[in-house]
Amino acid sequence: MQEDPEDAAEQEEQAAGLSYGEPFDSGFALAERHQLTPDLPAALAVYGELLAVAESFEDSPDVRLLRGHLLSDVGTVQLAATDLPGAALSIGRSLDLVRGIASVPMGPNGRRLWLEVLLKTLLARVELLRRTGQFDDAQEAMDEATALLSEFDDLEGLRTDEIGLSRVHLLMDRSAWGAAEELASALLTDAPPAEPYLLDCLGVVCASTVRFAQAEDYFARAEEAYLTLGHHAGRQQVLSHRAYAALRAGDLDRAEELYAEAAEIFERQRQAEDLAVCEQARAAIAAHRGDAAGAAALTASSLARFQQVGAAIAAADTMLMGARHAYERGDIDEMKRLAQGARDVYQERGVYERCAQVDLMLARTLEDNLNRTDHGVHERTSLANALSLALPAALTLEAARYDFASAHARSQWLQLADEAMQLVFRLALRSNDQGLIFELVEHRCAGASLALNHTSTADKAAVFPDAAMKTYAPDDDAPLTLGGIAAEAAASVGLRVAPPPKIVMSAEAGGRTALQEYVQAAEFRYHRRIVSEEEVPFCPPTI
């Protein structure tokens, strides 16, 4: 029987990935319009109806691919709606279906459609993993998606740009601002379809690196591009990013106004994660203005929303903010509970610099308790406990600042490190441990930095220094370079900085080095080098 030409054309179009036939073609188009509006519940309702139809079909590889495609789109909408647990289920089911037909014989067009669905689902998984703080797993999914590119005939570079945008987002989440800016700028040169997203990313990068005029320029261009596309959801994200820039710039009135406007939109659209971000920022503003009750309420609401959607690191950051507020109002038990909860998350996810910040906060509470309470014969033990927390944390925070290429970021971390060292010296002086004080001075002198420029550390709305602007990963195998007094000079041009040398306090072979047990504790707890392998003998003063 001769095949009808129209049927043959329709089959060819479906095989090429251009059509699934009705009701799916019109359904996909309608759901996409709902996403741009955005009306995410309506988009999910459309996909739900289509999925019900697809699941009524007799099982076959083609039907599995259709179901996988629909579930992938459902997961993408759930990500936009900040339903991260739901997105995890949908994306997982989609990948199981799509990967499950990998060995089924396919023609060239069928293979292309399969690759398209697998790629978009992997990129959705990357977004899910990075938003839940699982950066290493996100990188693995990214690498799997990148490996698929060799099978595409990607003449227009669309898929390369999609992967590039996901890579930019992952770099930003890792706070690798320089690499993110370089990649986003390179992707923009070809005016890709992802242009508004890239412009928005560059605005956030510039705001994070204290270039507020450039940030506003990028935000304005992104908003115009979104407007041209009719992408209202994108414009709403630009609004919240403008609020972030205002907060970073210290313009609290404008930041509060923009965050309140964005929060109203996100609450109306039930976007819990985005709303939680707004509440977290508004809590910081309220605390800065002395509104302890308002800050506590906003912090609690933000924490609940982050926990609801499974955004672990964001929740931990909110817990750390809440711990600081609790400490300021004298609720030490609540402060300890929140701080330990945050630390557990940071430890699990490998965010060790934040672990050091938590330990420093706990050490401050021990000092405060020593000031308020007579510990009697137990004071020496209490001092030792405080020092065991404060000194390794202070060493780590001091070492961390040279991971950053920006003088602003280094000065933020230097301010925190100096405050930490001031705490350490207060505790050491109180303990009357002359040997410890001497070793502290020697270690500090060995790692003294040459300050080429001084960036103001007066940040009107700072909560904690940024884990930001890293020039390299701490476990990078690249060779170390200048250290000591030249460290600031090396870091300012993006070179790796060597930690200070070990100070040998004894002439005997294998003798003690300065702060030996505290350095070992810091390197074990926080997974970074504190001193180099180089040893420098202590030279006592001569009379």
Segment 363-368 long-range contacts (CB within 8 Å, at least 24 positions apart): 363/387, 363/389, 363/390, 363/393, 363/423, 363/427, 364/327, 364/390, 364/423, 365/327, 365/332, 365/335, 365/336, 367/423, 367/426, 367/427, 368/332
Q: Token digits for 308? A: 């609801």
pLDDT at position 461? 35
CB 87 within 8 A of CB 57: no
pLDDT at position 507? 67
Q: Which of 15, 18, 21, 25 is CA-nearest to residue 110?
A: 15
pLDDT at position 193? 81
pLDDT at position 222? 95
Note the helical H segments in 132-194. 135-148, 158-173, 177-188
Note the helical H segments in 37-157. 40-55, 61-80, 84-99, 108-131, 135-148
Task: Say which residues have a Cβ less than 8 Å from residue 102's Cβ, sequence separation at least 6.
Answer: 114
Q: Which of 156, 160, 244, 171 is CA-nearest to residue 208?
A: 244
Beta strand 497-498 with 502-504 is unpaired
What is residue 170's three-state secondary structure? helix
In angstroms, the CA 383 to CA 371 distance is 11
pTM score, whole prediction: 0.69
Which sign does the torsion angle of CA 409, 410, 411, 412 carry? positive
Q: Token digits for 477? A: 């195998």
pLDDT at position 455? 41
Per-run averaged pLDDT (10 residues), the chain, 543 residues: 39 49 88 86 93 91 92 93 89 94 86 89 93 87 90 77 90 80 88 87 88 94 91 89 92 94 90 90 88 89 87 86 84 88 87 86 87 85 90 85 56 74 91 87 64 40 38 41 45 52 73 84 86 71 49
Q: Which of 508, 131, 172 is CA-nearest to residue 315?
A: 131
pLDDT at position 335? 87
Cis peptide before 23 (omega within 30 of 0): yes
pLDDT at position 458? 39
